[in-house]
Amino acid sequence: MKKVIVGGNWKMNKTVPEAQALARQLCDRLSDVNFADIFICPPFVDIYSLSIILREKESKIILGAQNMHYEAKGAFTGEISADMIKSAGGKIVVLGHSERRHIFNENDEYINRKVRAALDAGLLPLLCIGELLEEREAGKTEEVIRTQLKGSLDGIKIEDPSKILIAYEPVWAIGTGVTATPEQAQDAQKFVRKILAEMFDENIANEIRILYGGSVKPANAASLIVQPDVDGLFVGGASLDAESFEKIVRDAIK
pLDDT (average), residues 113-122: 98
Among the listed residues 173, 85, 22, the one whose alpha carbon sits nearest the alpha carbon of residue 8: 22
Say if residue 27's pLDDT is above 90. yes
**What's the half-sphere exposure (Cβ side, CA atoms, 13 Å) at 1?**
6
One-letter amino acid at 117 equals: A
Per residue in 67-86, pLDDT (tens digit) is: 999 999 999 999 999 999 99
pLDDT (average), residues 52-67: 97
- Comparing 91-105, 163-177, 228-242, the range with the smallest average pLDDT is 163-177
**pLDDT band at residue 177, thresholds of 50, 70 and 90?**
confident
If you ran DSSP here, which 8-state letter would residue 126 be given?
A: E
Say if residue 178's pLDDT is above 90. no
For the chain, list the domains and their CATH numbers: 4-252 (3.20.20.70)
Among the listed residues 93, 91, 96, the one whose alpha carbon sits nearest the alpha carbon of residue 61: 91
Say if residue 111's pLDDT is above 80. yes
Give the residue numbers marked as catalytic.
97, 169
Phi, psi dihedral angles at 141 (to 5 degrees): -55, -50
- Identify the helix (H) or strand (E) that includes residue 20: helix 16-29
Show the 3-state SS of 172-198. HHCCCCCCCCHHHHHHHHHHHHHHHHH
| Mean pLDDT (the chain, rounded) | 96
Residue 183, pLDDT score: 96
Query: Can you tell me the distance from the alpha carbon of 112 to that of 101, in angstroms, rounded to the nearest whole number?
Result: 12
Residue 197, pLDDT score: 97
Among the listed residues 133, 212, 209, the one whose alpha carbon sits nearest the alpha carbon of residue 169: 212
- Identify the helix (H) or strand (E) that includes residue 69: none
